[in-house]
Amino acid sequence: MRTVGAARGVRAWAATMSRSWRHSLRFRTTAIAVFLTALSLLVVFLTMSFLVQTNLFNSRQDQALVSARTAASDAQAALDAADIGGDRSKMFALMSEVQSRISRLAAADGFALRRLSTDQPTATTAQEFQTAGFSDDIITPAMRQNVSDKPGTMWVQSVALTDADGGIAPGLLIGQQLTVPEAGKFALYITYDLTAAQATLSFLQGALWVTGIVLLGIIGVISWFVLRQVTVPIEQAAETSERLAEGDLGVRLDVRGESEIATLGRSFNAMADSLEGQIKELAELSLVQQRFVSDVSHELRTPLTTIKLASDMLNDSRDDFDPTTARTAELLHDQVERFETLLTDLLEISRYDAGSVQLDMEATSLAHLAEDVVEQMRPLAQQHDSDLRFVAPGGYSPVDMDPRRVRRVVRNLVGNAIEHGEGGPIVVTVDSDQDAVAIGVRDFGLGMRAEDTQRVFDRFWRADPSRKRTIGGTGLGLSIALGDARLHHGTLTVWSEQGVGTNFVLTLPRRSGVSPTHSPVPLEPAETTAALDALGMTEPIRLPRAEGTS
């Protein structure tokens, strides 16, 4: 369990560092500065450590060579000046004096004298000697060979010495050949302990590492605070920009000083002032425009009512007129009705702009509502030689909606499909799932370009301005339909392809106020009319009025 907890802690720490690296300029810059500083310090410290180590070793080796050379020269001089005369006691006294001279002049940690001559010892032959703790194990065959073969040359090598506590210590072994009168050739070996030099080197290395770590920490702190002077104003500017984008037009940056950051802050505030002024001016103009449209629409109601009554009377009496006058009365009646529809749509749009639209919610079956609209629009479809087909795998369960507005959306979509379907079949599909209900209106007409689908919900916009309206729309139907969908927290989307057709999908949430994340009816249809006919799914059907399940 502890291992699992530690692993989770490591992963959490790594995730935090990764998130800070991606989102914090201050953290990323500080980390880079500390890393590069650490890398530079590492190179410098390794170089300094190597140089100090080399210098200490060479210095101590030179001192050891000077002392050993002095001791060996003095010992050889004493040996050369001695007159033994075959006297054993004199030989013993001579060797004792040589040992004393080496001990006094060599300043060594140990030394030994070893016989090199292969002659059999005699009564006056000099005896070998060594100091306590000296071990022949440190003398390598190469050292023995060099001392034996090259008299007069001093040899040195690094060795590992055993200290008084039995530990291993670095040291030097120096060897040179001596000639003892009446005894032959001997090898003098002198050892020097480098523990003090090693301790000095360790101290210097430790001091360098501590200094480097402290320096690294200081550089990190300095970098953090220096970067804070730059990143904090940037963070404040980003936060202020977000609040400004959210509509808080009165927010401004707190500017201090005369630095480049302060200049940026003043420029930002000037830009915000300009944006606030322009947005307020546009809002006032929009409000005036909305009020104008609403007032004009209301004011036109009264004369329009009078004109409509007159046109109705003329239209009802057109059989008593001559053909030209009768046709004029009929055209007048149609245009007055279209004018009335346009005024109604303009009033509806003005309510959307003013934010005063309210929904009259009630539980309604989308499938039954769509069936009613399809049956009402079927005669119009037959006039345009279009086969209006209805498919309802789901959507029977009642869902809270404003039935008047949803019915208006469906009528508008079916009417557009009839007008632009070029006499082809029109498939109305209703389906649902646990989160949403949806209706799709699919025609197989000329379709639209991709850039046209981006503007299809714009007010008074037409994909083909030269095309004549046959149903008498005002150009506001899809814009109002989109507004109705959004009031329900739903979506109204469109798919279209030239030469293939168009598909509109209205999706409404089952739970009020919760926007759907997907639609039960696919926006881009995968099936063709032939495939639907083969499955028998596009024949007009009569839905049962009893509540079903989707």
452 and 520 in a single domain? The answer is yes
Q: Does the residue 308 lie in any domain?
A: yes
| Domain of 414, in residue numbers | 364-535
**Same domain flag for 437 and 327:** no
d(CA 106, CA 130): 14
Same domain, 376 and 472: yes
**Residue 296 within a domain:** yes
126 and 180 Cβ atoms separated by less than 8 Å: yes
| Average pLDDT rounded to a whole number, residues 498-525 | 87
Task: Summarize pLDDT for 358-399 with one digit per residue, the tens.
Answer: 788 889 999 999 999 999 999 888 988 888 999 999 888 999
Residue 204 lies in a domain: no
Asked if pLDDT for residue 534 goes beyond 50, the answer is no
Based on the fold, state whether residues 368 and 510 are members of the same structural domain. Answer: yes
Put the strands of the sheet holding 168-180 in their side by side order.
129-130, 110-115, 184-193, 168-180, 155-162
Q: Which residue has the tokens 């008047």?
A: 404
Query: Using CA atoms in the order 324, 326, 329, 335, what is the torsion angle rounded to 10 degrees?
Result: -80
Q: Each residue of 420-468: pLDDT tens digit?
A: 888 889 999 999 998 899 999 999 988 888 888 888 887 767 655 545 5
Amino acid at the residue 7: A
Asked whether residue 472 falls in the same domain as residue 491, the answer is yes
CA atoms within 13 A on the CB side of 433: 9
For the record, the structure tokens of 64 come out as 């050891």
Q: How far is CA 238 from the centre of its chain?
A: 18
Does 254 have pLDDT greater than 90? Answer: no
Q: State whether 346 and 375 are in the same domain.
A: no
pLDDT tens-digit readout, 304-348: 778 878 887 877 887 778 888 888 888 887 787 777 777 676 666
Interatomic CA distance for residues 33 and 221, integer angstroms:
11
For residue 133, being part of any structural domain is answered with no
Residue 115: is its pLDDT beyond 50? yes
Q: Which of 353, 372, 387 is the last residue of a domain?
A: 353
3-class state of residue 403 by DSSP: helix
The dihedral region occupied by 154, where left means phi > 0, alpha psi between -120 and 50, and beta the remainder, is beta
The pLDDT assigned to 6 comes to 67
Residue 41 placed within a domain: no
Least confident of 65-69, 228-232, 291-295, 525-529: 525-529
Among the residues of 388-522, which ranges form H helices?
Answer: 403-420, 450-453, 477-487
Contact 185, 179 (CB under 8 A): yes
Total domains in the fold of the chain: 2
Asked if 515 and 490 touch (Cβ cutoff 8 Å), the reply is yes
Question: Contacts by 258-266 with C-beta closer than 8 Å and gap 24+?
Answer: 261/229, 261/230, 261/233, 264/233, 264/237, 265/233, 265/237
Give yes or no: residues 343 and 421 share one domain: no
d(CA 40, CA 32): 12
Q: Considering 321, 353, 385, which residue would you say is the last residue of a domain? A: 353
User: Residue 481 domain-assigned?
Assistant: yes
The single-letter code of the amino acid at 350 is S
Domain boundary among 305, 323, 353: 353
CATH of the domain at 383: 3.30.565.10
Claim to verify: residue 408 and residue 474 sit in the same structural domain: yes
Domain of residue 346, CATH code = 1.10.287.130
Amino acid at 211: T
Do 443 and 471 fall within a single domain? yes
Distance CA 402, CA 8 (A): 52
Cβ-Cβ contacts under 8 Å for 379 (sequence gap 6 or more)? none
Q: Is residue 193 part of a domain?
A: no
0.75 surpassed by pTM: no
DSSP string, 492-546: EEEEEETTTEEEEEEEEESSTT---SS-SS-SS----HHHHHHHT--S-----SS
More confident residue, 472 or 73: 73
Identify whether residues 380 and 335 lie together within a single domain: no
- Please enumerate, as own/partner, the contacts of 373-378 that have beta carbons within 8 Å and a separation of 24 or more: 373/407, 373/410, 373/411, 373/414, 374/414, 374/428, 374/540, 376/411, 377/411, 377/414, 377/415, 377/418, 378/540
Nearest to 472 by CA among 406, 416, 405, 410: 416
> Are 421 and 487 found together in one domain?
yes
Q: Residue written as tokens 């609209």?
A: 373
Nearest by Cα to 188 from 155, 140, 225, 223: 155
In a domain, 373, yes or no: yes
Residue 294 pLDDT: 65
Res 541: pLDDT: 40
What percent of the chain is predicted at pLDDT more than 90?
11
In three-state secondary structure terms, 166 is coil
Whether residue 427 is found in the same domain as residue 396: yes
Q: How far apart (Å, rounded) are the C-alpha atoms in residues 476 and 357?
A: 16
pLDDT band at 121, cuts 50/70/90? low
pLDDT at 505 over 90: yes
